[in-house]
Amino acid sequence: MNRLRARVRAHHRRVALGAPDPSLTPNAGLAAISELIDHLDMTGVLDAAIGSVKQRDRGTTGAEVLASLASCQLAGGDHLVSLDRLRADAAGQELLRAPTPASTTAAGIARRFTPPHLAGIETGIATLNQRVLDQVGQVRRTSLLREVTLDIDATDVEVYGRAKQGCAFNYQGQRAYRADIAFWAELGVPVAADLLSGNDDPRASVVVLLRRALACLPEGVGTVRVRMDAGYFAGQIARECLFRGVRFAIGATRNPVLWRAAAAIPEHAWAPAIGMEHGEVAVCDYVPDWWPADTVCLVRRVRIPVEAVSADPRARRRRTIPKGQLALALQGKLDHVYGYSFILTNMDVTSEEKIAWVEWWYRHRTDIEALNRDAKHGAAVRHLPSGDLAVNTVWMWGALLAAALSAWLQELTGIDRGNGRGRRTIARLRRELIGVPGRVVHHARNVELRLPPGPQLLTIVLARLRALPRSG
């Protein structure tokens, strides 16, 4: 055994560190992102929509700052100084169409963004969505345009320091901003967004947000449906949907009137919920004042064994259980209870099958929770780096553009399932495509990117992007 170990040690060579090789890059996959930006002419479209953010028409533009922020966050950057690290990657810079600005330059330009400039970002995204739709297959395009779902939800971003402009303490006692985002669920891209203060009620601004989101949808859209949770339970958004010809499904805040209406539902009126064990759905007699007359209230109840009820009074599930049932269950007088959820909608619920389908469709509003999580933890909405509100808003839009680039890339190259499902998260895309090491070599007046041996997703993506017809 000792002789074997000595032989192994004799064959082992100590690895020496050589001089840094400037031809190496840790983010060879940025070549695909740059190719997509160039293919869609993203900076040109955004520049035309945003307009000039500087007095002199030279140097880095507002659109180039947004593109750099999006590329930086796709590569894993989560602070403004990450731009400087990306800028220091000499080989990686050769893969980009435009040089990455310094962090101070990017912050200085972002500080110049005004509300009309920010509105131009949404207009630019609408144009880019149209360009993507023009290049997907006919079946997929028809599917996307036939029925559009707008998911609206807010996510809080905790920040630190009293110098943060425009933030406030939220209901959890955190100093925070609140990003209120409207996503086109089927395509997986943001169409409108606001950066609010942590104590702002999103119901106060959601009507304007919805109008902007509807204005950003492409021509030829058929039915538009909107999903929102109980945080948007307000009559004005329902009336706006009525005026715009939009179908809505909005979560309702549990109150004594709703509890009484649910208790009055006869047992034979409950129908099984789709894909939910022990779940049932029904319609109850409840319409809030000043809501559209065609509004109906769907009720979902789920059977919960008593042993699954948390003893913690702060548990979220306990709030779904009627107080009388909960008290009896805690006394050991029941072996199960029911948790209730309420949805107000103007969709067709004239049969048990339609009731079950509407509830199943509304349950998929968790899509926006996944999209928000991707923008926060895949990109970097989780960290708003500046004390200036305008800079933080531009940073948020950089993250949302990163999410859009991820969705557009997968839609155009077909590396998802081709139906909006099976889409890679940004974190997975970074691991499999963007964060791949490569060597940039100059050969015969060409720039050549050499990848590690073995199958690489980057080769597939680049080939499919370059096979697409030019946009615009």
Is 191 within 8 Å of 150 (Cβ atoms)? yes
pLDDT at 418: 67
Classify 64 as helix, strand or coil.
helix
- Rounded to two decimals, the pTM is 0.93
**Beta-bridge partner residues of 240:** none
pLDDT at 168: 95
Token pair in block for residue 64: 């180039």
Residues in Cβ contact with 139 at an 8 Å cutoff, skipping those fewer than 6 apart: none
Is 248 within 8 Å of 237 (Cβ atoms)? yes
pLDDT at 420: 63
pLDDT at 4: 61
Classify 266 as helix, strand or coil.
coil
pLDDT at 209: 98
Cα distance between residue 261 and residue 274, in whole Å: 23
> φ and ψ at 83, to 5 degrees?
-60, -40
- pLDDT digits (tens), the chain, 472 positions: 566 666 656 667 788 898 999 999 999 999 999 999 999 999 999 999 999 998 887 889 999 999 999 999 999 999 999 999 999 999 999 999 889 999 999 999 999 999 999 999 999 999 999 999 999 999 999 999 999 999 999 999 999 988 899 999 999 999 999 999 999 999 999 999 999 999 999 999 999 999 999 999 999 999 999 999 999 999 999 999 999 999 999 999 999 999 999 999 999 999 999 999 999 999 999 999 999 999 999 999 999 998 888 888 888 888 888 888 888 888 888 889 999 999 999 999 999 999 999 999 999 988 888 899 999 999 999 999 999 999 999 999 999 999 999 999 999 999 987 666 689 999 999 999 999 999 999 988 888 999 999 999 999 999 999 999 876 6
Computed over its alpha carbons, how large is the radius of gyration of the chain?
26
Cα distance between residue 11 and residue 216, in whole Å: 65
Burial class (CB in 10 A: 0-12, 13-18, 19+), 12: exposed
Percentages helix, strand, coil for the chain, rounded to the nearest 5? 45, 20, 35
